[in-house]
Amino acid sequence: MAKAIKKQALGRGLSALLKDPENDIKSVNDKNADQVVGNIIELDIDSIEINPFQPRTNFNEESLQELASSIKELGLIQPITVRKLDFNKYQLISGERRLRACKLVGLTTVPAYIRIANDNESLIMALVENIQRHDLDPIEIALSYQRLIDEIQLTQEQMSERVGKKRSTIANYLRLLKLDPIIQTGIRDGFITMGHGRAIINIEDQDVQADIYHKIVSENLSVRETENLVKNYQDSIKPTATKAAKKAATFKIDDEQKKAFANFFGSKIDVKIGGNGKGKITIPFHSEEDFNRIIKLIQG
């Protein structure tokens, strides 16, 4: 018990240190930084701003009220984590749900771990910590992975090391983002599971995806039943797809047609056709003037 009291007193002492303009700590090399960074300190709630990188977007009100009641009775057991932005100004890295609950109770201060991090580090810390939580829905996790790819340029291999998840697991979450938005919402709201979503994603046509989703919800289909439904659909379209592919494979562009393209654009045109009949036309240009010339040709 004596230890707990001493720790709390230390937190209050450090809080006073942080409010002294002459001891403003901005980097790990500053005086007294070792006393602050990585320690638990009581911070004014009003000095903490919400993290714009927070991957969680859904906060269940009933669950928040339950947490608030617990905090009112027992106090906040797990401190939040913040990064120092400026003098007596902090940004939340993780623990928004806890912070919201503290505000509901009417607390004016909250225990927090202090970190000094740049925007990228803050984003990574927030996303990685949230990904490892058990109460995030699969779409929130997938969006977190996608942000690490888009904003930090992490590869799936690097993410695997950061979050302690297999690369295949990360890939499975990311694939969910290819689902029709209605289905993504269904996963987030708990109408279907990630297993259902993984089965549906094997269908490219989003209209068909939506039809199967409505069937799952209306008939309360299991994941196994959904997998069978998807397989039956895929089997039913295979003959048509094979026939279309064979027909497309016979499509060719002869030299005269290529020459006509080249004459029109005034440069050598590269035309490639795949076995499925789809292709690509590449029109090279050599300068901004040449590019503008080609644009005028296309616009007529």
Q: What is the DSSP string of 97-117?
A: HHHHHHHHHT-SEEEEEEE--
Distance CA 69, CA 208 (A): 45
Closest C-alpha to 68, from 20, 14, 105: 105
Half-sphere exposure of residue 66, counting CA atoms within 13 Å on the CB side?
A: 5
Distance CA 208, CA 190 (A): 20
Distance CA 76, CA 67 (A): 9
Name the catalytic one among 49, 66, 73, 96.
96
Asked if residue 179 lies in contact with residue 209, where contact means CB atoms within 8 angstroms, the answer is yes
Residue carrying the six token digits 């503008």: 292
Distance CA 219, CA 275 (A): 40
Asked if residue 94 lies in contact with residue 129, where contact means CB atoms within 8 angstroms, the answer is yes
Q: Is 96 a catalytic residue?
A: yes
Residues marked active site are found at: 96
